[in-house]
Chain A
């Protein structure tokens, strides 16, 4: 085993050992009505983006998971997404096109849109609790922190680089500059599994997706409108953070 692997495993063991030591005193809840340790789960969720500025996204995700213990699990998921520009993004493009195509323009950040994604990550669920929805109707839940990453298929449609202006007066474009790429994505989420029974739970998550941004600077507007997109890649484009609220159901076998 390589030295890096040994270090990684030692670090993981160090991370788990104090958690295990903390868990060794008599657990306050025995036995859990809805144990998950050693069980496989299959979940489907739908999600919508929140705090949208220039893009909005809707997702459909299928997720498979394995719980090693009551507090640690592993998930892998595949997501398909429908995304597009917000009305604000469209207005920005429209107003820019209504001005004469003179000089250069820098493209805007945070315009990449999610099309598909695969993720894998760790689910840490140290919290198990319950609350009463009504008289004698306790709902049990697990709260967890999800950390992981994967790959995202992204598309980008510019709102400042137009290759074919159809109406200067109305600020409409027939061919906005588009790009596609596959990029690494990091993800973190806070979630709840609200148990409906031993074999199922409603899943509610607030998820963050982060990928590196990428756009052009110094694009000559006139040349672009003639079909020749110039400019250079931004040297430090920063990162795009997309927040999703996901709701779904998990079948626990």
Chain B
């Protein structure tokens, strides 16, 4: 027997035919119509939902890779509308594999504004659930809703200074707070009265130029660079928000952090701006109170 024939035989065993119900005399009648009005087993209105998205990988990134965790509080004002508050923490942000390859093979690097990474943030957004449905799988019925949301918030950002090499791991400098816009869509499944599962695709959008690194602008960095070449960074003559301490001392691997000054200066002097998208797949597990 061929493999395909065996496949057909085996799977034919799984093809349980559905029973054909008798014809309904009222089916075609123009004088009678039926509708199902089924109360939602567990309504959402005026309930609070707490969702944890423990691992969110960034997808479709070019120069950076973000892995983050987020927590979402959603207040369901009605069955259709809600408001979500979502803080997030990026616990892994680094140059992408493509960016590393570009640098090592052809000695080209992404522009500074295109290399800014998110560190943390919080966004708020109204949430709309225009479509509700249900599906059957493995003998059970599951209710779900399609959700859309868009909003804004704020986030902390950073940029890579020294790349990872034989001397030690990469170093980073803060590029300050930025506004973060967000938008996304996904599905929300209710399991019983309390538990929910969400699968959403969400974009965290931030934009701007790299004008400050560790609070130091181009002038501050020039001053620090001159101090470095003269014998040591003192921090004198820089603006008050310039975090001189970030360029002093050594890392755990013995790298002298004052070397970051020239790198930071080059990035700040590049100019330009860019809009960056951190698109992630958010699988979350929630509880509804």
Contacts and interface: CB of A to CB of B under 8 A. Distances in A.
B135 A23 contact: no
B21 interface: yes
Interface string B9-25: 01111111111110000
A250 interface: no
Nearest to B15: A69
A133 B146 CA distance: 11
Interface string A126-138: 1111111100100
A128 B10 contact: no
A9 B106 contact: no
A25 B59 CA distance: 39
Interface of B: 1, 3, 6-8, 10-21, 35, 59-60, 62, 98, 101-102, 104-106, 108, 131-141, 144, 146
Given A19-B138, A31-B21, 11 more contacts: A5-B6, A16-B13, A19-B14, A23-B14, A27-B139, A28-B141, A32-B18, A69-B14, A96-B108, A128-B136, A129-B136
A34 to B, nearest CB: 12
A28 B139 CA distance: 6
A22 B133 contact: no
B14 A126 contact: no
B108 to A, nearest CB: 6
A20 interface: yes
A23 B134 contact: no
B133 to A, nearest CB: 3
B141 A20 contact: no
Main DSSP-derived SS at the B contact region: mixed
Interface string A2-30: 00010011001100100110111101111
A226 interface: no
A68 B12 contact: yes
A219 to B, nearest CB: 10
Interface of A: 1, 5, 8-9, 12-13, 16, 19-20, 22-25, 27-32, 35, 37-38, 50-51, 53, 68-72, 88, 92, 95-96, 105-110, 126-133, 136, 141, 143, 160
B14 A20 contact: yes
B112 to A, nearest CB: 16
A141 B135 CA distance: 9
A131 B146 contact: yes
Nearest to A126: B137
A19 B59 CA distance: 32
Most A CB within 10 A of own CB, among B20, B138, B146 = B138
Nearest to A130: B133
Contacts of B12: 68
B18 A68 contact: no
Most A CB within 10 A of own CB, among B11, B21, B62 = B11
A134 to B, nearest CB: 10
A213 B84 CA distance: 43
B14 A16 contact: yes
Contact of A28 (B98, B102, B140): B140
8 contacts: A9-B10, A20-B16, A23-B16, A23-B138, A28-B136, A37-B17, A68-B15, A108-B101
A127 B14 CA distance: 16
A50 B13 CA distance: 39
Contacts of A126: 137-138
A68 B106 contact: no
A41 to B, nearest CB: 16
Contact of B10 (A13, A51, A71, A107): A13
Contacts of A128: 135-137
Contacts of B13: 16, 20
Nearest to A159: B106
A209 to B, nearest CB: 15
Nearest to A143: B135
Contacts of A50: 60
